[in-house]
Amino acid sequence: MSYLGDKLKGFFLFDEPEKNERFILKYPADNDKKDNGEKNRMEREIEKKLAEAGKKPEPSDAISDDIDVNMEFMKRKYSVPVNSDIVLREFSVNYRGDLIRAFIMFFDGMAAREIIDNYMLTPLMVNSLMNLESDSKEGLKDYISRQLLPHNQIKLESAYSKVIDEINFGGCALFVNGLPIAFSADVKGWEHRGVEKPNIEIVIRGPQEAFNELLRTCTAQVRKRVKDENLIVEDIIVGKVSKTPCCLLYIKNVTNDGLVDEVKRRLDSIRVDYMLDSGILEQLIEDSTIYPSPQVISTERPDYVSELLVAGRVAIIVNGSPNVLVVPITMFDLMRSAEDAYIRYPYVNMLRFIRYTALTFALLLPGVYLAIITYHQEMIPTDLLLAIEASREKVPFPAIIEILLMELSFELIREAGIRVPGPIGPTLGIIGALILGQAAVAANIVSPILIIIVAVTGIGSFAIPNFSQAYSVRILRFAFIFFGGLAGFLGITLGLFILGMWSASLKTFGVPFMAPLGPKTAKRFNNVIFRAPEWRREERPDFLNAKKSRLQAKHSMGWKSRPKGKK
Amino acid sequence: MPNRIKFGKWEAVALLINAISTKLYLYYPRMTVEDAGTAGWILSIYVSLVTLMIFTVLIRLYKRFEGMDILEVSEICGGKVLKTLTGLITVGVLFYLTVITIREFSEDMKVISLPTSPLSFVMLFFIAGMIIGGFLGLEAIVRYHAILVPIISIAYILILIGAVKLMDISNIYPILGTGAYDIFGKGFFRISVFGDILMLFLIVPSIGSYKNVKRIGYTAIGFSSVFLTMGSLAYILSFPYPSNLEPFLPMYQMTRLITYGRFFQRIESVFVFIWATAALMYLTANFYFMVYVLSRIFDMKYIRPLIMPCAIIVFSTAFVPQNLVSVLNIETNIFNKLIWVITFGYVGLILIFANLRERAKRRSEKDETEA
């Protein structure tokens, strides 16, 4: 509320605005050319990562070569033995006839026990007795990592913080006496869902796979579709305490470098302790927190993410969240469904028309009905007017109360329908139908025509493909009821004007929210409100300023063009 | 412009088309009939052609000042004093246009849609739109224009198509209406209708090159001329001459008679949407430029502190005329005959003097280098 209060105060009192630099998505510089001696973005990133990897830890964070010091540190860090799910297993490794003390540490339930037993403990405790090292000149560190740990992902860490991060994310750490490093093995093995069918974004035509909560499964799902070595998956950690692993996906020779940098900048700059889901991340990276519509696409479909990546966008996967975020978007993307790409364009266009009609109904129908009933009765043909008036004759409330009552009841049933336990669900449907339908009319609390209005509005909001957008429409509907009740069509016009101007002023990751119509950009009618045939979708959206604007050949249906030389 | 916002050609054209053509919904068709009788449409064409010619002269004079708005050109010409004077005159014109238009729209809206609501209540809706538009800035205003102007234009054309069955060719006779002198002599002063082209000279820094400015100007005048002439012609054809002189909302009167079958008989309420949207867009743009020029005069860094005070002044001043008739009288008989003196005459003079000054400056520089 204080935020709203500040906004309202800003209308009347002037404070010099903070100097925030607004991100502008510029045309891509020709970064891949090295004529000027400058490195391109990817080379800079590789150098940065290598420098980070080679950085020596702070003295307080450096692992000791004394196993007792290390064990004491780790025990204190993990509150052993209070913490019941942390496992600390001590054992000895045979090296050149000496038994060297060692211990492993992992979280029970998060790490795969079988892998630890078979590929870590067995080689270290049993195979080491075979004296495999006798002919080799390797030191203990190399001996363990090269000969005793046959696991596919072993990292050598010299800082406690890194080891702790690995253990927290389902890894297993191995400390050996005399070595100022720890081995960390990626042995994640927690229980998780498999790849299942999408729950929300259901399609009839197209793949039936959804993301799940595993980061690597999600990245693999995209990679198996895009199949391009230029698809980059960059790791980013968000959350000071939770250290939630996130991945940034983009196609390096397509996506604008400025856009990738901006997404990374926003993610890096987030200062929260816990970031547990992509829903939280979405709220932390969006441009306007008060604007009703979502400014990020959140999808559970890998095929849709792949399609958006190919267009030149950036995807963000959050570990533990089955919803992947894609930026930047425009208002028109919120009315698209993943299925749109898979079905023939006449069908898509019919569906799009229906969706936009549904949006109009869901947003404006109750407000317009109220405006007509209250201020513009002359607009209704006489027969219809008589029918409406006859049905409203016995209703004791003014039209605005009648609408608010019904809309509120509808929202109540909708919310209760989500919260109610499964077996009681049908009962709620019956109660809802009775209250909303028959009983309210029979008791002369509402008119039958209003039942139709509310029902059509409700169905309209269900036809909006983006779940978050449907929420925003539900909120805005009440605003339009208010405007319609206040001044009829003039009020609704003002409401639309405010919403339109607000949308026009908004940018998401440097892309105007109303693009490609306002501002007008090239090829704007290819896939905005209506979709062009597949063979006409030759260019990527202009407003994304992608490195490669062409998406497919001018004559993509090669079989139609006549081979050269043939008449 | 604040931080020199850049926008495209279409955005600028849409802004100007709406600014010039909004008069269609208010008084323009009736005004042409009052001036030239049944030859109002010829007057409309004549005025458009004269405007195009004057614009050609102005834009030629502008060639040397690529990327500068009229205030910067004034500064070159006569220093800070002339810049301030130009600014004040511009603010005056925009203020007048905003006040008159808001009063007129509010009065008309009250009559056709909200008869029981007080005028101040109706006016508040337009004021609210202006304030919000001012806060959201020029970028939002032009983008909104870019989206809505095509929709409004299509709706307008549909209205004209709907009115075709009302049209009677005999209403156009006599072809020359009240006479050639009324059309080509007195009619000249009606170039004031295109006075909103003044906005073009304020947005120059945002649209870049001279070539763009030129193209935008011609396109906006061209489209507006077509819309104005079509409106005037349709109005003249739809009603007999005596009815054409009715002093109330000509386009609205036309839409009232449009019917599509037995069910769609009263589409004028839908017209309210188009009409109020166009009005809100026009008023917001006018108001924004008024506040913007004011901030430039005072060398203010931000325009926001000026928005609320200016809105209150506009709101209060809009109540000064006694009634709708006096508003219409001021509009059609006084300002619409005189405003061209500023929008074309004064701007032209500034450009001529600025050119002379530049030429003299260059000559003296040349002499110095030769010496």
CA distance A303 to A309: 10
Confidence of residue B3 (pLDDT cuts 50, 70, 90): low
The residue of chain A with its CA nearest to that of B9 is: A520
Token pair in block for residue A416? 């209760």
Choose among B237, B241, B236: nearest CA to B167: B237
Residues whose CB falls within 8 Å of the CB of residue B256, separated by 6 or more in sequence, listed in order: B266, B268
Q: Could you tell me which residues of chain A have a Cβ less than 8 Å from any Cβ in chain B?
A: 11-12, 14, 16-17, 372, 375-376, 378-381, 487-494, 496-498, 500-502, 504-505, 512, 514, 517-520
d(CA A100, CA A92) in angstroms, rounded, equals 5
| Phi, psi torsion values for A264, nearest 5 degrees | -65, -40
Alpha carbon of A546: minimum distance to chain B alpha carbons (Å): 20
Look over chain A and give the mean of its residue pLDDT values, rounded to a whole number. Answer: 87
- Min mean pLDDT across A45-54, A103-112, A470-479 is at A45-54
CA–CA gap between residue B22 and residue A229 (Å, rounded): 56
Indicate yes or no: CB of A497 within 8 angstroms of CB of B143: no
Residues B213-258: pLDDT tens digits? 999 999 999 999 999 999 999 999 998 888 878 767 888 888 888 8
Collapsed DSSP state (helix, strand, coil) of residue A325: strand
Tokens representing B280 are 């809100």
Find the distance separating the first CA and the last CA of chain B, reported in whole Å.
41
Q: Do B143 and A518 touch (CB under 8 A)?
A: yes
Interface test with B, best of A7, A384, A505, A525 (most B CBs within 10 A): A505
CB contact under 8 Å between B143 and A488, yes or no, is no
Query: B49 versus A43: which is more confidently predicted?
Result: B49
Task: Residue A222: name the closest of A201, A250, A202 by CA.
Answer: A250
CATH (domain of B58): 1.20.1740.10
The average pLDDT across B184-198 equals 89
Q: With beta carbons under 8 A apart, name residues in chain B contacting A519.
A: 7-8, 10-11, 142-143, 146
**CA–CA min distance B233, chain A (Å):** 27
Averaged pLDDT, A35-59: 79
* pLDDT tens track for A152-201: 888 999 999 999 999 999 999 999 999 999 999 999 888 888 999 998 89
Planar angle of CA A79, A191, A240, nearest 5 degrees: 45
Q: B111 lies in which domain range?
A: 2-370
A vs B: CB pairs below 8 A: 113
Question: Chain-wide mean pLDDT for chain B?
Answer: 89
The tally of CA atoms less than 13 A away on the side-chain side of residue A319 is: 19
Whether the per-residue pLDDT at A236 is higher than 60: the answer is yes
Q: How far is B358 from chain A (nearest CA, A)?
A: 36
Tell me the sheet residues that pair with A298. A325
Contacting residues of A for B145, CB less than 8 Å apart: 518
More confident residue, B337 or A498: A498
Residue B136 and residue A502: Cβ atoms within 8 Å?
yes
User: Which of chain B's residues have a Cβ under 8 Å away from the Cβ of A493?
Assistant: 272-273, 276-277, 280
Question: Which of A11, A497, A498, A521 to mutate against chain B (most B CBs within 10 Å)?
Answer: A497
The pLDDT of residue B301: 86
CB-based contact A519 B277, cutoff 8 Å: no
Predicted pLDDT of residue B248: 74
How high is the pLDDT of residue A11? Answer: 65
How does strand A297-299 pair with strand A314-318? unpaired
Burial of B258 (0-12, 13-18, 19+ CB in 10 A): buried
| Tokens, residue A230 | 């230029």
Name the residue among A380, A488, A501 with its Cβ closest to that of B133: A501
Q: Which helix (H) or strand (E) holds B107?
A: helix B70-112
DSSP string, A448-503: HHHHHHHHHHHHHHHT-S-HHHHHHHHHHHHHHHHHHHHHHHHHHHHHHHHHHHHH
- Which residues of chain A make contact with B129, given a CB cutoff of 8 A? 494, 497-498
Domain count, chain B: 1
Q: Is residue A213 exposed (0-12), middle (13-18) or buried (19+ Cβ within 10 Å)? A: middle
ipTM of the complex: 0.93
pLDDT at A20: 64
Residue A323, number of CB atoms within 10 A of its CB: 22
**Interatomic CA distance for residues A527 and A329, integer angstroms:** 13
* pLDDT band per the 50, 70, 90 thresholds, residue A133: low
pLDDT range class, residue A134, cuts 50, 70, 90 = low
pLDDT digits (tens, 9 = 90+) for B31-73: 899 889 899 999 999 999 999 999 999 999 988 888 899 999 9
